[in-house]
Amino acid sequence: MAKNPWWEYRLDSYEQPNGTPGEYHYVHTPGSVMILPVTDEGKIILIRQFRYLNRREGWEFIGGGMKAGKDMIRSAQEELLEEAGIISDDIGVIGEFNPMNGVTDEICNIFVARSLKKTDAMPEESEQFEIGEFDIPSIREMIRTGAIWDGMTLAAFTLFEQHRDTYSTLN
């Protein structure tokens, strides 16, 4: 089966509820992280990047797959540094979700990062990002117009909206 550092394709044999044997094909991952970095001014940092599979660009929250055995907080910090040149020791979990429960067992952990320090980004060779800072009304408008179309970003923003009272500086 296919395998790389972030996921592997699996085929399980199992017993169905009616007792007959079944097979299930799926993608196994060690998980992923998505981070909403909030500036001191109450803006949220997003990145715009090209997604090969859909052949289009879109704005997304910072995130990526975890490698097996890696701590999720450390993974979140590494993604912030790699993709946006952000360092933060003030990171809190606000939720988790499965991005496509019929296809993968992945759990994406969502974080909010505060007390941001900027440095140079260190993207992988295949990655190119544009970085932007947006207020909540702008993010809602980007969702409405399709500038934000990534399902994981949409799910993360929904979880974030449920916790907004924790972040009183936000509009």
Among 34, 3, 36, 9, smallest CA distance to 99 is for 34
**169 — pLDDT class (breaks 50, 70, 90):** low
Among 109, 114, 135, smallest CA distance to 31 is for 109
Structure tokens at 161: 């909206």
The reported pLDDT for the residue numbered 27 is 96
Tell me which of 115 and 5 has the higher pLDDT: 115
Task: Flag whether the pTM goes above 0.85.
Answer: yes
**C-alpha span between 26 and 124 (Å, rounded):** 27
Question: In sequence order, which residues have a C-beta less than 8 Å from that of residue 29 and are 6 or more positions away?
Answer: 6, 7, 8, 65, 66, 104, 105, 106
- 121 touches 75 (CB < 8 A): no
3-state secondary structure of 160: helix
Tell me the per-residue pLDDT of 44-56, one tens digit each, with 9 for 90 and over. 999 999 998 899 9
Identify the residue whose tokens are 């940092």: 45
Specify whether domain 30-164 bears CATH 3.90.79.10. Answer: yes
End-to-end CA gap in the chain: 47
Question: In sequence order, which residues have a C-beta less than 8 Å from that of residue 7 and are 6 or more positions away?
Answer: 27, 28, 29, 65, 104, 106
Pick the range with the lowest mean pLDDT from 5-9, 15-19, 130-134.
5-9
**22 — pLDDT class (breaks 50, 70, 90):** very high
Tell me the per-residue pLDDT of 124-155, one tens digit each, with 9 for 90 and over. 776 778 999 999 999 999 999 999 999 999 99
The reported pLDDT for the residue numbered 170 is 55
**Main-chain phi, psi angles of 159, to 5 degrees:** -65, -40
Identify the residue whose tokens are 């449920």: 162
Tell me the per-residue pLDDT of 50-97, one tens digit each, with 9 for 90 and over. 998 899 999 999 999 998 888 999 999 999 999 999 999 999 999 999
Structure tokens at 102: 């019929």
